[in-house]
Every structure is written in C-alpha cells, then in structure tokens.
Structure 1
C-alpha cells in the first residue's frame, strides 16, 4: 500500500490517500484532507508571488513543511488504523513555490524536506518528481497524464481528464493516438484570491457569488490575450504567473469601474473559456472533471455551455474520487519509482525520453 500527499497551487489543504495498485487499476482505501497552518499558507503564497526572501527563510519553510507533512501522515495513520509497516512508500509532491520551465536555466522548486518525512514517519518517502523530466528537456509538468492514461486510457472514444485546482490541466486521450496533456491556465486560483479579498471567504462555494454577477465580455477578451494561451504544448504554468498581481494589472489596464461580483463572474468564465478553447466540439467525447473546481456547479455549467457536444461529468462517475486524484497520482508515481518504471510521458512534457521520476529517501 502507498500513501500519496498533494498540496496544490490553491493551498486549500493537504490531501492524503492510501491506496494500492495493480497493472490496470487503483484501489483507494482511505483519504482525507488536513488544513494548512495559516502562518505557513501565508508564507507560501508570499514566496510563490516573488516576495523578498532569505535563504534562512526558505530553509525554515522547507523544514516546517517537512514536519507538517509528517504530522499529517502520522495523524492519518492513527485515524485509519493503518500501521507504518504496512506502507511501502509515501509519494509526496511537496509544495511548488516556483516553476520556470523555459529560458536558459529552467528550474522548478518544491519545498518539504523528505528526510524529515521519512525520519518522523518511519516510511520510505519519494519526492522531487519533476526535475529529472526537466533535466531531459521537459517541462516537468503536468505529470498526472501518465496516471490518467493508466486509469482511463483504454476506451473507444476520446476522453479528457480535466483537473481544476489552482491551475487547470488536461489530459487528452484519443484512441490510437499519443496522450496530450498540459496546463490550460488558471483554475480556481484567481477566483479564490478575489473572493477572499472581497468576501473574506477562501473560495466561492458553488460559484454562487460569480452567479450573482454579470460577465464583462471586454475584460474577458482582454484577459484571454495573455500570451500563455498562444503558446503551443508542451507548456505549464503556476502561481508565479497567474497571481493576484496579474489580476490587478489586468484591471488597471482595463481602466473601467467594474463591480466585484462582475469580476468574479468574468474570472469564472475566463477559467471555463480558456479550458474550452483547447477542446473541439467536432471531436467530442467524455470530459471527466476532478479537483476542487468539480464541486463548483456554476463552473461545471459554464463548461457544459461552452462544450455542448461533450459529456461533462466528474471522475466520481467513473469510480475515482475527484478530491483524491492528484494525491493518488503521486502515490502511483512513488510505486513507479520503487519499481524502476517510467513516470513521465515525453509526448506530454517534452522530455527527450521516458524516465523514472523521484528521489527516494529511506527512514534508516
């Protein structure tokens, strides 16, 4: 059995899942989510948005995150009755604080000291999943399409798995063709930031606030001109690009007064449209949605409206809980690492070849 840990760009909490795998399927035994300590969340948001930081502060956050992940695992074990000895390994993504896959010196940085996780839990821990792919010329992201293919790949129709976390990403699986996968752009991140600023709540439940507003088509058109959307895959992005400062800049450039609820409505449609623009209604199939955005009924309706020929549903309808999808993926990637098997898809990331992903940290 493996434990997967994922704390994504939305920073809404730490997802844990305990699962085992065979050659064709995953079986989830337990899953939960623990909130981030608020002080840690604030530091991570500031760090990922380019706030000045010292090496001491980075080291402190790395250590604090390692202890936080380890504490979450030990609490998870206690609550589920699982024993550390029954867990083959932990797959921990770590917390991304910067991801720069392009330029002369591409790099990605995830914090959360895996030595601490392994030492405090007594369980072998696999982390640092992205940098080997980048060393081979890839984007290091997205990595979940390989797992999506493992779960959903065998089918006679086009299937797209859409994960809407802070950032949205898609895995396109067309019969007899290579998997395509990349980040489409913002998911919940900008909506969460705006509703926190104006409603003092961490997210817009069911998109009710967005539904109370009116989409400003001119602002929507302006936001869609961001050059990220003109880039061809493979491509990936994150909080270092689409953050509160980006939105402030967009609103300043727009130069007109707009009600806060109308901004929220426009941001929701921005997410839906930037996703829909990547899919063709002429080759429609199943759109399987997971992540926090799958719980936003207003967003789900916007996706169905933008993609009328597609069957839009959550991954839950296919037997995979959408809340645990990414944690499950990193549990699987830990398994791949220990088995010595590839975890990346070069056609997705742009890496020069298949490779095993992740560094392994032993508890003794």
Structure 2
C-alpha cells in the first residue's frame, strides 16, 4: 500500500492554501515537496465574511466550498506535477477545509464545528481518496474538536529525554507541551489570537495583507491600558481543554475594546496586538510547563521577527526557535499534520487525545470520500 499522502491546510489566517506531498515509508516522515497558493481576493473576502452572520449563508457557503476546493485541487496538481507523481500513487489527501464557525459544547451541550469543504468534489477533480471532516467526531464525543495537531507534534517533534513545547501561530495560536516524564505526556490547547487580529488591523491601515517581519509593530509602542483590557478577556484565564476562533477574536471584538482608546496611533495598536499574542502564548507555557526549556514555533507567526523577539523576551531561560531548525519549515507543519491525520484515518487508528480536547475517549477522526 502506498505511503504517499497529501496534506492541505487553509487556516484562520485566510492567506491561502499550503499543501505537502509526504512520504511515510519505513516509519519515517518526509516532506517530498511543498506548494502553496494564495486565495483570490474575492474568495478570501467571502470566506472572511462567512465567519459572521449574513444573508443567504447556506447558498454562499456551498459555492465558497466549491471555490475553496478548486484552490485545493490546483495545489494538489502542482504537487503531483513537480514530483512527477501519478495520482494513483497517492493513498489519500487530507483536506481540513476552512473553519467558519467553531462553537463546541455550546447551546445544546454538544455544540458544533463547521468547516467549509467539498471533499466529494476534490476526489472527483483529483482522482484520489479524500479524508475530511476531522473535527466533528471529537465534538460528538464531548470534546472541543481542537486542537488536532498535538498528536502529530508528538510524533514529529517529540523527544524521549526532554520536555519541550510546540507553538503554532496561525490566525489563532495553539500550544502543545511534550513532557515524556509526565502522567500526561501530551497537553495542548488554543492560547488565543495569533495573527488574525494583527493581519486584519495591518490590512485595514496599510493595505498590506500582513505586517512583514513585524516591522510596523516594532515602529509603535505598546499601550499598557489597551493591553490590559484585551488580556482581561475571560478566555485567557479559562483552564484547558479549550479552543477558540474568529467567533470570538474578530474585528468586532477588537473594536469593542478600542472604543475608549480612540486616540492611539495605528502602529501603537499593532504593537499592542503583537504583544497580546506574545504574552498570551508565553503565559500559556508558563502556566502549563514552567520548566520547559525549548519552544519550537511554527505557522506564519514564526516568520514575524518582532513577535519571535517578544516571545524570547517573555520566556527567559527558554530557547525559542523556528520549526525550520527541527527539520520542518514553519509553513509546512500544519499541512504535514493533515497528511499524517489522513494516514491515521486510512489505517483506522485513533488520532485524538482526550486530555487535549476533553472528549470521552480517543476516536478515529475524519470521513473518507473514495475517488
């Protein structure tokens, strides 16, 4: 049986699709090739809009799912073409979809999580089995359905003789603590906003999609009052298991807190938002693993030099490094995780950790759409 899998990820940053062709032969995990594609502006705008209530949502969501999958298919074709890999040589594609609502355990006790996707269309376009809908089984079992990546972090980054943590900074930030000496060797949860608020503020005030290397934030000054107000959000004090998304940390949330800080310069708000991400992530590590001496950072936030410097400042005695130093570039980690998750599904092996999500037990995640 083939050990080639494709993983696709489009996260809450809404910057596009990352894909990897991964080889799991001989008990190893190796990225054969990485490809990415930005979202067309109209698709990005629609996906962002669908994170909020609006007219005709069912119709718009279905069409956005079709458009998203066509972007996915383009990345798959690029991976196959670059590596001269025939479609039939790939066991499956792991396609997470685009999260537009995430409300586990709310309303009726079960709640829901919703990812826009059209996995049947992706299987039709690519001629490869597709594994999708990774979160809902964990939610059905009473869990948060997130974060999904800690088991992969353990498999790829874990070391038998050292405690370390993996911090993914996408639109939302999540942390995994790997402590082989603990009764709970893997702990993971969402920390709060990652790039989502920074990117949105930057785009509104500069027209740029993101703050390149954090230069704009570095030109501003952190406002202590605004920072304290933002950090007063109850989510930060909530114990894990916990997860979040744009349902909470969005432009309306920021605008609400900014009402009494109208005279701040835009770059000072950007500096404060960067500090919010740095402090909330550092506090998550302090709370759960104060003795941790290595933090591996992945996701787009790992490319933000200013943010990495602020993390280092708040974590004295802890080495803060990019996942690149551990053999996997920051923008490839989550896509590789979904290739790994797809493999777990195909092998009928569990891929959830009850200690992470709060579910009643480990579950096989995902649904398979045959080609």
Whether the TM-score (by the shorter chain) exceeds 0.5 is yes
* Stretch deviating more after TM superposition (74-83 or 95-104): 74-83
- 2:311 is aligned with 1:303: yes
Query: Which of 40, 43, 46 is residue 43 of structure 1 equivalent to?
Result: 46
Query: Which of 99, 112, 115 is residue 117 of structure 2 equivalent to?
Result: 112
Structure 1: give runs of 5+ residues left out of the alignment.
none
Q: Per the alignment, do residues 152 and 85 of structure 1 end up closer, same or farther by CA in structure 2, a change over 3 Å counting?
A: same
Structure 2: give runs of 5+ residues left out of the alignment.
none
| C-alpha distance in structure 2 between counterparts of 1:241 and 1:212, whole Å | 28
CA contact (8 A) 2:105 2:139 kept: no
Q: Which residue of 1 aligns with 2:153?
A: 148
Q: Which residue of 1 aligns with 2:282?
A: 276
TM-score (norm 1): 0.97
Q: Which residue of 2 aligns with 1:247?
A: 254
The alpha-carbon deviation at position 47 of structure 1 amounts to 0.5
- 2:243 is aligned with 1:236: yes
CA contact (8 A) 1:24 1:151 kept: no
Query: Which of 53, 75, 86 is residue 72 of structure 1 equivalent to?
Result: 75
* Stretch deviating more after TM superposition (38-47 or 17-26): 17-26
SS at match of 1:190: helix
| C-alpha distance in structure 1 between counterparts of 2:29 and 2:273, whole Å | 34
The CA RMSD over aligned residues, in Å, is 1.3
Query: Which of 2, 6, 9 is residue 9 of structure 2 equivalent to?
Result: 6
Query: Which of 3, 27, 45 is residue 30 of structure 2 equivalent to?
Result: 27
CA contact (8 A) 2:105 2:143 kept: no
SS at match of 2:168: strand
| C-alpha distance in structure 1 between counterparts of 2:53 and 2:150, whole Å | 29
* Stretch deviating more after TM superposition (64-73 or 353-362): 64-73
TM-score (norm 2): 0.95
- 2:360 is aligned with 1:352: yes
Aligned residues: 362
Q: Which residue of 1 aligns with 2:105?
A: 102
Q: Per the alignment, do residues 235 and 22 of structure 1 end up closer, same or farther by CA in structure 2, a change over 3 Å counting?
A: farther
Q: Which residue of 2 aligns with 1:211?
A: 218
The alpha-carbon deviation at position 284 of structure 1 amounts to 2.7
CA contact (8 A) 1:127 1:360 kept: yes
The alpha-carbon deviation at position 82 of structure 1 amounts to 1.8
CA contact (8 A) 1:314 1:322 kept: yes
| C-alpha distance in structure 1 between counterparts of 2:313 and 2:131, whole Å | 41
CA contact (8 A) 1:90 1:125 kept: yes
